């Protein structure tokens, strides 16, 4: 692709997945035009939803499929379900992970008066939106200790197993330990692979 100044780029992320088959492939374009003639559904499910869900289950090995308009909406729903199921409010994320643009996922850690505190990542996000957020170092054994210390408060731990911003960091053993800890503590462990998609494996990491 080319920018307005004529510089040429290779899109190695394939438009975050939508250009998996190349730019504007004819068979995708034909399928879209054919569907547009039948109408576009947002509220009621399209007649293809059941068939697509079955195909995704077959491809990934997952038991169930839910459809969302955006990955941010999927993260918000997962968080709401985790809080409802556990009756807890705190959530944990890892630094350098991306979980959409929902205000509660946009937090950073900053040293204030000698103490590390979680604060909003950008102006316009109320401080109370990130009060229940723990932002931890990915792959660090110390992060597991922090999760254990807060186990009775945590509803969920969100993780990008292979971070879209740190493809070289793949702490498999850490993830196994995290799975064990969250299972024992009845904390929802949510793998968010919205950005990495099927690039690691068809069933995800």
Domains of the chain from N-terminus onward: 71-191 (3.40.640.10)
Q: Which two tokens stand for residue 76?
A: 């918000």
**pLDDT for 14-71, tens place per residue?**
887 788 888 889 999 999 999 899 888 777 888 888 999 999 999 999 999 988 888 8
Q: Which pLDDT value is given to residue 155?
A: 97
Distances (CA, A) of 128 to 96, 125, 132: 22, 9, 8
d(CA 7, CA 14): 18
**pLDDT for 122-157, tens place per residue?**
999 999 989 999 999 999 999 999 999 999 999 999
Q: Which pLDDT value is given to residue 13?
A: 77
89-108 mean pLDDT: 91
Q: Which pLDDT value is given to residue 113?
A: 82
Do 175 and 94 contact (CB within 8 A), yes or no? no
């Amino acid at each position: 692709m080319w920018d307005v100044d004529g510089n040429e780029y290779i899109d190695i992320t394939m438009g975050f997945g939508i250009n998996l088959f190349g730019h504007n492939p004819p068979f995708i374009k034909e399928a879209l035009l054919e569907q547009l003639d039948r109408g576009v559904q947002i509220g009621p499910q399209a007649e293809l939803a059941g068939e697509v869900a079955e195909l995704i289950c077959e491809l990934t090995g997952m038991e169930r499929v839910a459809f969302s308009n955006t990955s941010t909406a999927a993260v918000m729903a997962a968080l709401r379900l985790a809080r409802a199921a556990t009756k807890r409010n705190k959530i944990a994320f890892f630094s350098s992970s991306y979980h959409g643009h929902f205000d509660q996922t946009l937090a950073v850690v900053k040293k204030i008066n000698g103490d590390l505190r979680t604060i909003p990542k950008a102006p316009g996000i109320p401080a109370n939106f990130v009060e229940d957020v723990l932002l931890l170092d990915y792959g660090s054994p110390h992060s597991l200790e922090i999760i254990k210390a807060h186990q009775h408060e945590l509803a969920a731990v969100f993780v990008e197993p292979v971070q879209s911003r740190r493809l070289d960091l793949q702490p498999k053993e850490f993830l196994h330990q995290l799975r064990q800890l969250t299972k024992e503590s009845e904390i929802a462990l949510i793998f968010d692979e919205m950005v990495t998609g099927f690039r690691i494996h068809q069933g995800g990491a």
